[in-house]
Amino acid sequence: MTKCRSCGTEVGIISKSVGLCKECIVKSNEYNHVIVARSNARRRYGLPISPPTGGQRCGRCVNDCRIPDGEKGYCGVRQNISGKIQNVAGDHALAIAYYDPLPTNCVASWVCPGGTGSGFPRYSYKRGAETGYKNLAVFYGACTFDCLFCQNWHYKELCQSSSPRLDAKELASMVDVRTSCICFFGGDPTPFIDHSISTARYALADTNHILRICWESNGSMEVSYAKEIGLIALETGGCVKIDLKAWNEKLHRILCGTTNEWTLRNIELLSHMASSRKDVPLLVVSTPLIPGYIDEKEVSAIASFLADLDPDTPYSLLAFHPNYLMSDLPTTSNEQAQRCLKAARDAGLRRVNIGNEWLLS
């Protein structure tokens, strides 16, 4: 066991990069060890160690970066060039795209048309899983958070000028008659949200068959963007998958580097929008079950929030795989997953799923 740097006791499971047990995170403000660990990691990739201040406002996400001339925002791809905020790749995006056969390992596959046939025949080709069709997966090389446990931390390697650059029109042209959905994820699509919206609109304009548009995000984008992607997903039978990583504000800041305030706000917005389409869920929420940190108390609080909005909100509890700066933790145990499943249901949610069950120990 690792001793907690605050209380000094060997309590539960503690990651060395955090150095604190969950109880001390919630109670104290001693975060210097975490700041150092996160800062050292970000420097390796040339990323600002904190959201910049004293310059031009970006306004894209919760970090509210004020970027000085010639410098970059927290995501590493928004920059100030002579007083104008733009992406480092201009009209392109630092991203990779590939086809994923359906049904795919998607957070929403247990409720979406591609995995279940829900919404047939308007939004799905089949009454069951769309075997024989494919998803166009678009992975963006940037993120507005900096999660210590990031499962896709290699996105940081795409935050470089030599990374692949995708044009929205060219990306949209990858859609063919067997492509029934597009999913924008990463990293996170927020730093390139305009690019994802443009790609979606180009693809839809050139398509006369079913084409669902989905986003998978931490939900940190400015509210007007959340509304716009929600409308596109609503129109096409797609969904917006929001990863709500923690309920407690202090815990969220420690694990993810920033607040969950905008994520909660956008979940509420999308939940209200979802009421107009009940046959296919618009909003799907997930939470990674991080041993020692995200337990049944956190899940219960999140589930209560979601149940108050709509008890039929699909909620996926994701098994954790040790990675990035929290690679010293164990995988989620089956016992933890079952406790969290019960907590979510007891809080009033009717549609709860355990994702990545093969990772459970």
pLDDT tens digits, one per residue of 133-150: 999 999 999 999 999 999
Q: Supply the pLDDT for residue 157.
A: 82
Q: For residue 333, what is the DSSP state?
A: P
Measured at the CA of 245, the angle between CA 13 and CA 64, to 5 degrees, comes to: 125
Do residues 111 and 281 lie in contact, with contact meaning Cβ atoms separated by under 8 Å? yes
CA distance 14 to 256: 16
Q: Which residue has the higher pLDDT, 361 or 12?
A: 361
Residue spans per domain, the chain:
93-359
Q: Supply the pLDDT for residue 14.
A: 86
pLDDT in tens, 47-76: 999 999 989 999 999 999 999 999 999 999
Tokens for 15, please give them: 């990651």
Q: Supply the pLDDT for residue 11.
A: 65
* Domain 93-359, classified CATH 3.20.20.70, yes or no: yes
Q: Supply the pLDDT for residue 197.
A: 97
Counting residues of the chain whose pLDDT is more than 90, the rounded percentage is: 80
Beta strand segments in 124-254, E: 134-140, 165-166, 179-186, 212-217, 240-243
- Mean residue pLDDT of the chain comes to 93
pLDDT in tens, 322-348: 989 999 999 999 999 999 999 999 999
Q: Which amino acid is at 55?
A: G
Residue 40 predicted with pLDDT over 80: yes
Crossing angle between the packed helical segments 223-236 and 261-274, to the nearest 10 degrees: 30
Residue 196 predicted with pLDDT over 70: yes
Residue 205 predicted with pLDDT over 70: yes
Mark 84-117 as b/e (b = at least 16 C-beta within 10 Å). Answer: ebebbbeebbbbbbeeeebbbebbbbbbbbbbbb
Q: What is the pTM of this model?
A: 0.93
- Tell me the pairing of strands 283-289 and 240-243: parallel
Q: Which residue has the higher pLDDT, 193 or 157?
A: 193
Q: Supply the pLDDT for residue 34.
A: 86
Nearest Cα to Cα of residue 209 among 238, 179, 232:
179
